[in-house]
Structure 1
Amino acid sequence: MNLPTRAEDAHKTLAAAYNTGDVATVMKMYDAAGIFEASPGKPVSGKEKFEEAVKAILSIKGKMEIKTVYCFQAGDIAVGRSEWNITDGDEVKVSAKGIEVMKQQADGTWIIVIDHAFGAEANLVA
């Protein structure tokens, strides 16, 4: 899998990576030293914890789709807002609104440093 060369393509690339079902492919999209909150209120960091979170999402059978609501870029940093779901036929297994912070790498590709998969949900409170 090729990493995106534009920040606004990160969501599409991440969905394609998840849909391969391959943990290594999905992991290439992330900076494991960052933060991934794949489950509300349970942020993780570090390669091992990232892999556990990715495997948990991959265990949900179905197809992932991620719509980019917006993507703002300032130099080598970007923030995106997404609406994503995993469906199996007509059944919606998961549906959420997320916020992602991305960083451009030296080779021009983009990876996700912070993925708050439920970060834009209206019912979240500080």
Structure 2
Amino acid sequence: MTITQTTTTHHDTPHTLNRAWGEAFNAGDLARLMTMYEDDAVLVPGPGAEPIAGTEAIAAALRGFLGLGGQLDFTPRHWLVSGDLALSSVAFSMSGGTDPDGNPVPLAGVTSELLRRQADGSWKYVIDHPFGGSA
């Protein structure tokens, strides 16, 4: 896993934010991922897990996902925009991920995400539930 210093990129539509999230994940770039969340955002870190909130908790959870070493493949399902809010959903699967003992960790799901337009016109995640959608 590589952690780099990354400047925030302006994501002027919800789908550009989503695409950038996948690219940052596949690059192992935790710093760039964290620029995509509001400070008090909420993330559900796993199937059936309790939600966590705030950048420190989200960074810790994402660090764990990045530590699996896999690559995400994702297919957008929809972006519904109303004013400064957007609801998005993506079907994803991860291949090549392994646990600390080297065992494969298959991961797949359908997301449910809430995004908010920021004062500068960019979008950030407010709620990120990687396993909150239905197939």
Report the aligned-residue RMSD: 1.9
Residue 83 of structure 1 corresponds to which residue in structure 2? 91
Query: Which of 70, 76, 80 is the equivalent residue of 2:78?
Result: 70
Tell me how far 1:8 sits from its aligned partner.
2.2
Residue 115 of structure 1 corresponds to which residue in structure 2? 128
How many angstroms apart in 2 are the aligned matches of 1:59 and 1:24?
14
In structure 2, stretches of 5+ residues that fail to align are 1-7, 98-103
Residue 99 of structure 1 corresponds to which residue in structure 2? 112
How many angstroms apart in 2 are the aligned matches of 1:3 and 1:39?
28
Q: Deviations over 1:3-26 (max 9, x none)?
A: 421112222111011122121111
Which runs of 4 or more aligned residues in structure 1 lie more than 4 Å from their structure 2 counterparts after TM superposition?
Answer: none
Task: Give the aligned residue type for 2:107.
Answer: V
Percentage of pairs with the same residue: 27
Larger relative strand fraction: 1
The answer to whether the aligner puts 1:51 opposite 2:67 as a matched pair is: no
* Alignment TM-score, normalising by the size of structure 2: 0.81
In structure 1, stretches of 5+ residues that fail to align are none
User: RCO higher in 1 or 2 (8 Å CA, sep ≥ 6)?
Assistant: 1
For the Cα contact (< 8 Å) 2:44–2:51, is it kept in 1?
A: yes
User: What's the secondary structure of 1:107's corresponding residue?
Assistant: coil
For the Cα contact (< 8 Å) 1:85–1:92, is it kept in 2?
A: no
How many angstroms apart in 1 are the aligned matches of 2:17 and 2:70?
20
User: What's the secondary structure of 1:111's corresponding residue?
Assistant: strand
